[in-house]
Amino acid sequence: MDGELVLVTGGSGFLGAHCILKLLEAGYRVRTTVRSLGRKGDVLAMLAVGGVTPGDALSFAVADLTKDDGWREAMAGCAYVLHVASPFPPGVPKNEDELIVPAREGVLRVLRAARDAGVRRVVQTSSFAAVGYGKPLPVGRPFNEEDWTDPNGDVSAYVKSKTLAERAAWDFIAREGSALELSVVNPVGIFGPVLGADHSTSTLFIQRMMDGALPGLPRMVFGVVDARDVADLHVLAMTSPAAKGERFLAVSGDFMWVAEIAATLRQRLGAAAARVPTRILPDWLVRTVGLFSAEAAQVVPELGRVKNATSAKAARALGWTPRTREDALAATGESLVRLGLLKKRG
């Protein structure tokens, strides 16, 4: 690699910071985009928590997914791009276009700038949201990379945004990508060690469970994967010839019921997980308006649905081997405790 330069969009985010850590560890130089240089300190603080002081190996560029300004400069001299930046709010936006437009138009801005700058390959962070929603479950098998979410089905704005953004990326490459290559990573819920107070919606769910902020456990399943392994898959997809033009699901083992997640936290973290609820809520109660406030619209369609996905393709083609679900969840809880991000018991 000889210190090749990689652009990571959204380096101030949970996964973006883990991708920077992985790239620096592998010997790459990294440039990361932030919407304001005021976030530079936040990025450096997260990397310090991850055990890295980057020095001259990390630089910053100001660029926003909703604007053209700055992207040409951000891409200059880069061999690869990890396009990680995309909004994932804890609640539901007033207008779905608040998510859809920046996700779809943002990826097109990134791809155009990468093509024009002579970047070899872009790895886009999509999501299981673009794979397994809005349609009947596959019969007799888990979801795989051949599956696509139906954006016209009963799906949230976030799910629709990730689906339409990934579709737009593949269409761009087919029609006007020139020599630019694209690979896509589709993670399930991303857990693992948080690096600061600004982390992800998935880890926020664990934080709320451990704070005792949930009245009980909804009867639904989540896929689990560690952020460190998702970052590793991005780097594998960035350089492997087998990853050109392919998408890869990132999931560790079978999906877990929320009750199983809660039990894992209590087993692995002991007293630190004493406030994790044990009560399984009946579906009718979860559907009650206000119970989960803005999250209800995203939770309700998934109640009682048993689904699964496989990362066999990533294992076979790229040799990707993730940590266990239990280790990813425990690392989340342990980091929340270590960084003092849980509410003190009254």
Each residue's pLDDT tens digit, 104-128 = 999 999 999 999 999 999 999 999 9
Residues of the chain with pLDDT under 70: 1-2, 87-93, 289-299, 346
Residue 113: predicted pLDDT: 98
Quote the pTM value: 0.95
Q: How far apart are CA 302 and CA 324, in angstroms?
A: 24
Q: Which amino acid is at 206?
A: I
Residue 294: predicted pLDDT: 47
Output the 3-class SS for the chain. Answer: CCCCEEEEECCCCHHHHHHHHHHHHCCCEEEEEECCHHHHHHHHHHHHHCCCCCHHHEEEEECCCCCCCCHHHHHCCCCEEEECCCCCCCCCCCCCHHHHHHHHHHHHHHHHHHHHHCCCEEEEECCHHHCCCCCCCCCCCCECCCCCCCCCCCCCHHHHHHHHHHHHHHHHHHHHCCCCEEEEEEECEEECCCCCCCCCHHHHHHHHHHHCCCCCECCCEECEEEHHHHHHHHHHHHHCHHHCCCEEEECCCCCEEHHHHHHHHHHHHHHHHCCCCCCECCHHHHCCCCCCHHHHHHHHHHCCCCCCECCHHHHHHHCCCCCCHHHHHHHHHHHHHHCCCCCCCC
Residues near 3 by Cβ (< 8 Å), separated by ≥ 6? 27, 28, 29, 57
Q: How far apart are CA 58 and CA 43, in angstroms?
A: 10
Residue 201: predicted pLDDT: 85
The structural domains of the chain, ordered by start, are 5-191+225-252+310-322 (3.40.50.720)
Q: How far apart are CA 276 and CA 279, in angstroms?
A: 9
φ/ψ region of 60 (left if φ > 0, alpha if ψ in -120 to 50, else beta) reads beta
Cβ atoms within 10 Å, residue 218? 26
Residue 95: predicted pLDDT: 82
Rg (CA), the chain: 19
